Structure 1
């Protein structure tokens, strides 16, 4: 091997630098403060030593500012004796590549073109090294510039991990080890490497990204303020990471933020939008499924309007094909474009993406929001609607969604509170009612203090909290809030405004749950009439009013009228929302109850079984809606005489409802009453009494005197007392039922 190594062309750092005269036969060494990276250097040393006599290609890839060029220069400086010639080419553009190869040809006297240089390398069977630096442009076909031979050595530095297809070995250049990062900071800051200084530096090292560390060190060196840097960084990070130090350790042309801005500017608008959206999620665990689920969102009566969701709908439509279906290839194209600059990383073993914490922070603070924060919150909500927490939990998905608004605007800013309102809605869709109540109360309190109780945002959140109370069985509280919101909306917006009608409809639901069926019917009829005048017959709000009225008719014993409405609603919802949408399943479940009341038990069983199966698979076995469907199907089994099956299902539902909703929730108490009825049929009278008595006492406290559920429990309890020989207690209950004209 020839030890008289020749150095051709010039040495560049990680990003393109302004044009300068070529510096032939002179290559700068690695920076004087180079530290660490021993594992990568050893990997490179081993690879090239084991592949002598055949062409060896090694790729260093990673985020701009990670130190790829410096690692390559350090390796070359330590290994100069093993290569016969070393040629360094700036590979950032086609022009610089062509110029670099032309310089090789000219200096070697073999011609004046890149093809002459490549032909000469093909015929020179020595251990030459070709260093292709800054191969960052994914549109350049680098294969054209590889000597087509079986000898020689090539090192490539790039932000594009896609170049791994050429490499016999590669290394992803990411963050430094903490100890190396600490030493690099102190050396670049010209600080003594002492234990106290190491402890301070360990708090500063900025996610262990070399360029950021060097910039921090340059500022500390200039100011002499190692102790105060963190406090300055907390409030001035954009300025600090955008400043080019006056004194530098190498010829790197750009600052941390400028480096990423160069890459960001190369992206398509679709890719830019996606990266900005990801900056409002947690920087780890970003999944394609979240966006796919959101793209499949179906509107229901309790959904936000299409106008509210217009931006997320527009964004998500870019990942759909001409038929409106999710297009995984389109999503892959966009994420691959971002990955080509290492601004996002894909982890194939988990099928998840992540963004470097500093890039994540820069994208949020260094690039204009443009409404992306609220858009991402809404996409998260659309994704979670109808999913169970076994599929994707709100906590996992929303980690970091509110972080930006809280950090930049504060906990009490109206925009932060509006985002929190959306999270309450997300919790509702997941069946996480306790979390929804806790956060909902906080949002309403803060909005009343900041915006006033008549502000539209405050009214939206108050109505949302009332809906949560209804689901929790806190019906008196729900009624109070709904009445207050309705009064304000009637005064400000008028009787016929859509928001007024939404509140009237929600109040009607509360009245139905309270057993005040005449009031519920009057409200439902009024809302339905107004919606039919202004909306299409199949509009979600119109269908919601029809479905609500049908539930009221069920409570009033007007089963035929309920059936007519439910069949019409079900047909429309299947057509517009699909078989598996929560509102479709709710209509099916209510129709099954109607068939049960009409004595059409086989039809009731068929529908009830379908609903339970769908809710179990889509919402999860522990979702409140799944448990309600289980309870209703069990009662159909009870009527069919399948008592053991009914008992098993009711016991399971009761245990889960007690844990999830509490032992005083109307759904829990209804299940408890139905279990008592089944135990009566099984002639287990004492067990029936033990189940029915506490249910009856609690229902008396929370339901109206003539509520259908309370009446059923009273009837079941009277039967139990009669069988147990407690005739006086049975007579008292029967007299009470007569007074209610049952």
Structure 2
């Protein structure tokens, strides 16, 4: 079969579990599904026989690598495994089941060598004899033959004298290898490395700017992951520092303006600490220049990146087969052969100190290619961060190896002075924060948390809790806590940051108000609704005083307040707030902006809540379903069916449909999305449990009480521990009691009712409307048909009426929150 026989060809780097996961993430992005292994395999399985694919699992040499876990289900594709592990022959199913490839046949070797050397046919007998000798010396290895041909083509030697050049290089390599090096060079690698050295020497001998840049890039590439090294990394590394500098100046000017307007003075202790940090930072930077290749250092010095210069350097490497361009013209990236990639780092001339320098240069390029918020919020930046994960990992792995070798050398020489450990200074801290964003982008929140915690400790020590930089990193860390379901820690950390900000800036400072708003959202997510409402009310009043009622930040804060108000059983007030926010953000930002979509989603669910809890107006569900349907459809188109926020919209739409009595349609929307969420996020993820709880409630509407009872019981059991008193669990308990009452199992509800009573009153107080609703015997026992008939009609005039929103248009961005 040829390449044209397949609808698509996909690669898995099986050199490690981490690289395999990253490869699956890339495939998932192509399929517009969630970036993980399960979603990618499911997408491949779903393509069908009309779209046959080839999946190449490459370099599966490690015996511990679970290659069978990489296989998608179904029979619509072909899987090819490349490996040096003979045990994997058992996995073959077609024809002879496996093929063994060592060296090329002699005729093929000669042809490859002479074509690479651009020797014109017909080839004379002396030419063929010289080529035959070279092929024998190089063990008929394709890569070594390619390098030999390129060396001859570059006129560094001829076919006749290549063997003597090769032997001189190999002798030099053997002589320079340390006698205590426990990693011997195999005969196969000897051929590759010696042929590579001839090419390297030839590039050095040119002495041109392009050749010097090419060697710099080659060393940089060797400390990045060998596959998909994007060319635009270098462009971004050259241009981003200026963008960040301008953003910092803008931020400082804004801070200064607000300080002058409020006549706010900074406490002496804070000024002293900032001054101290400035001195330390200055001392750390004395004589310091970022380690960068000349092509980038010149760009930073002259203020302009020369893309043509980069292309000339890449051309040098490509022509000598040291790098390979991605065959997809839309993917401007380069890769290296594993043997060359390793040898560039490990060649005898590359001392440990040189390795440290070039590894740091690679790390610096990655750091400068990543933008800190509020910059870097475009989709292309998100894709870049995902693509950078293998490179960040490889750089950090090599940093660890280099430090270990320094330590080995110190111990072997028995030096009396201590080994210098990597110092966490300002530049290193910035690098760790940016790398943490890459890990977070790829869902590796545990790794991100470790990096952010290091930087947070450094910032607190050097700057103190009340410094702006410290507060920013702590807020970032709190968001990571939330992603790790460490909700209590996230909220507590935001509370500490808020207290520090109030202490140094005052309650009406803009930054204080933004932190207060974030803190209120944390309490809302914990289910501490009354407290969250009080916090958001204070924040909104502050925003109105400082920025005005129609400022974007004020409107955002009002949206957060509206969520808390709605969950505090003030449904009509919530609808009014969200309607105003939608109108304001639509005027300020347009219909398709992220914040406008969030406001519309909140408004849709405010209408839903008002109807669901018996306080609805005529038309509430019509408004809700119209908005949510648009959000759902647009997210499927723009984000993909498996994106987490598409799943949220599907869940919300299913809930509305169920309340309307359209049970079959509700389940047809909900069940496929719920299957995806369980597969991608896991059974115990709080978002999955939230959806599962509403699955049970939809089944009650469908009068499938036994099935609903089972699901709701599982949800309640999964919410043990810190989330025991969360409203999600209380709603599940309420629904389970109702379900069992309808099944005639009132005797099994006593303990549950006691827990519901105790937990609800502890959260809201004895007289809160939530308490009255959840503990109302009628609500705990009436049939679904009774839930929404008369209340919607009877309460329509008592609570006031909100006009229709027909002028709202479809939107296609991301909503942040689900709804209880």
Scaled to the shorter chain, the TM-score interval is 0.5 to 0.7
Q: What is the aligned partner in structure 2 of residue 41 from structure 1? A: 114
Q: What is the aligned partner in structure 2 of residue 505 from structure 1? A: 517
The CA distance in 1 between the partners of 2:581 and 2:194, in whole Å, is 58
Q: Report the number of matched residues.
A: 524
- Contact kept, 8 Å, 2:507 with 2:513, in 1: the verdict is yes
Q: What is the aligned partner in structure 2 of residue 186 from structure 1? A: 170
Q: 1:538 to 1:292 in 2, by over 3 A?
A: farther
Q: CA-to-partner distance for each residue in 1:3-35, whole Å, 9 max, x for gaps? A: xxxxxxxxxxxxxxxxxxxxxxxxxxxxxxxxx
CA shift, 1:518, in A, is 2.6
Alignment of 1:524 onto 2:524:
no
- Out of 670, 686, 704, the position equivalent to 1:684 is 704
The CA distance in 2 between the partners of 1:688 and 1:710, in whole Å, is 15
Which stretch of the first structure deviates more once superposed, 402-411 or 437-446? 402-411
Q: CA-to-partner distance for each residue in 1:700-740, whole Å, 9 max, x for gaps? A: 754585x6544533432232122111224557739837952
Alignment of 1:307 onto 2:247:
yes
The CA distance in 2 between the partners of 1:593 and 1:609, in whole Å, is 12
Tell me the TM-score normalized by structure 2. Answer: 0.51
The CA distance in 2 between the partners of 1:404 and 1:492, in whole Å, is 42
Q: CA-to-partner distance for each residue in 1:604-626, whole Å, 9 max, x for gaps? A: 22322332334345444444333
CA shift, 1:683, in A, is 1.6
Q: What is the aligned partner in structure 2 of residue 485 from structure 1? A: 497
Tell me the TM-score normalized by structure 1. Answer: 0.56
- Out of 153, 163, 173, the position equivalent to 1:71 is 153
CA shift, 1:495, in A, is 3.9
Alignment of 1:553 onto 2:565:
yes
Q: 1:180 to 1:530 in 2, by over 3 A?
A: farther
Report the 3-state secondary structure (helix = DSSP H, G, I; strand = E; otherwise coil) of the residue aligned with 2:703: coil
Q: What is the aligned partner in structure 2 of residue 630 from structure 1? A: 650
- Contact kept, 8 Å, 1:505 with 1:545, in 2: the verdict is yes
Report the 3-state secondary structure (helix = DSSP H, G, I; strand = E; otherwise coil) of the residue aligned with 2:371: helix
- Contact kept, 8 Å, 2:170 with 2:194, in 1: the verdict is no
Q: What is the aligned partner in structure 1 of residue 389 from structure 2? A: 395
Select the structure that is richer in helix.
2
Gaps of 5+ in 2: 1-108, 125-146, 252-304, 346-353, 404-419, 612-619, 774-820
Q: 1:390 to 1:284 in 2, by over 3 A?
A: closer
Q: What is the aligned partner in structure 1 of residue 327 from structure 2? A: 348
Query: How do residues 158-173 of structure 1 correspond to structure 2 at under 5 angstroms?
Result: none
- Contact kept, 8 Å, 1:292 with 1:383, in 2: the verdict is no
Report the 3-state secondary structure (helix = DSSP H, G, I; strand = E; otherwise coil) of the residue aligned with 1:354: strand
CA shift, 1:685, in A, is 1.2
The CA distance in 2 between the partners of 1:464 and 1:262, in whole Å, is 43
The CA distance in 2 between the partners of 1:199 and 1:279, in whole Å, is 18
CA shift, 1:509, in A, is 0.8
The CA distance in 2 between the partners of 1:730 and 1:496, in whole Å, is 49
The CA distance in 2 between the partners of 1:580 and 1:700, in whole Å, is 39
Q: What is the aligned partner in structure 1 of residue 229 from structure 2? A: 286
Q: RMSD value over aligned CA atoms?
A: 5.6
CA shift, 1:189, in A, is 5.9
The CA distance in 2 between the partners of 1:66 and 1:498, in whole Å, is 65
Q: What is the aligned partner in structure 2 of residue 469 from structure 1? A: 481
Query: How do residues 222-371 of structure 1 correspond to structure 2 at under 5 angstroms?
Result: 254=204, 259=208, 264=213, 282=225, 284-287=227-230, 307=247, 336=311, 339-342=314-317, 346-349=325-328, 351-354=331-334, 365=358
- Contact kept, 8 Å, 1:405 with 1:416, in 2: the verdict is no
CA shift, 1:440, in A, is 0.6
CA shift, 1:209, in A, is 8.2
Alignment of 1:741 onto 2:776:
no
- Contact kept, 8 Å, 2:657 with 2:665, in 1: the verdict is yes
- Out of 422, 425, 443, the position equivalent to 2:452 is 443
The CA distance in 2 between the partners of 1:390 and 1:652, in whole Å, is 30
- Contact kept, 8 Å, 1:486 with 1:503, in 2: the verdict is yes
Q: What is the aligned partner in structure 2 of residue 413 from structure 1? A: 424
- Contact kept, 8 Å, 2:116 with 2:150, in 1: the verdict is no
Q: 1:580 to 1:375 in 2, by over 3 A?
A: farther
Q: CA-to-partner distance for each residue in 1:513-557, whole Å, 9 max, x for gaps? A: 222223212222333333444457676644432221121122123
CA shift, 1:404, in A, is 8.1
- Out of 745, 766, 774, the position equivalent to 1:726 is 745
Alignment of 1:604 onto 2:624:
yes
Report the 3-state secondary structure (helix = DSSP H, G, I; strand = E; otherwise coil) of the residue aligned with 1:452: helix
- Contact kept, 8 Å, 2:696 with 2:709, in 1: the verdict is yes
The CA distance in 1 between the partners of 2:245 and 2:515, in whole Å, is 15
Q: 1:684 to 1:50 in 2, by over 3 A?
A: same
- Contact kept, 8 Å, 1:589 with 1:607, in 2: the verdict is yes
Report the 3-state secondary structure (helix = DSSP H, G, I; strand = E; otherwise coil) of the residue aligned with 1:307: helix
The CA distance in 1 between the partners of 2:661 and 2:674, in whole Å, is 20
Query: How do residues 661-740 of structure 1 correspond to structure 2 at under 5 angstroms?
Result: 661-699=681-719, 701-703=721-723, 708-730=727-749, 733=753, 736=757, 740=771
The CA distance in 1 between the partners of 2:478 and 2:700, in whole Å, is 37
Alignment of 1:640 onto 2:660:
yes
The CA distance in 2 between the partners of 1:260 and 1:37, in whole Å, is 34
Query: How do residues 75-86 of structure 1 correspond to structure 2 at under 5 angstroms?
Result: none
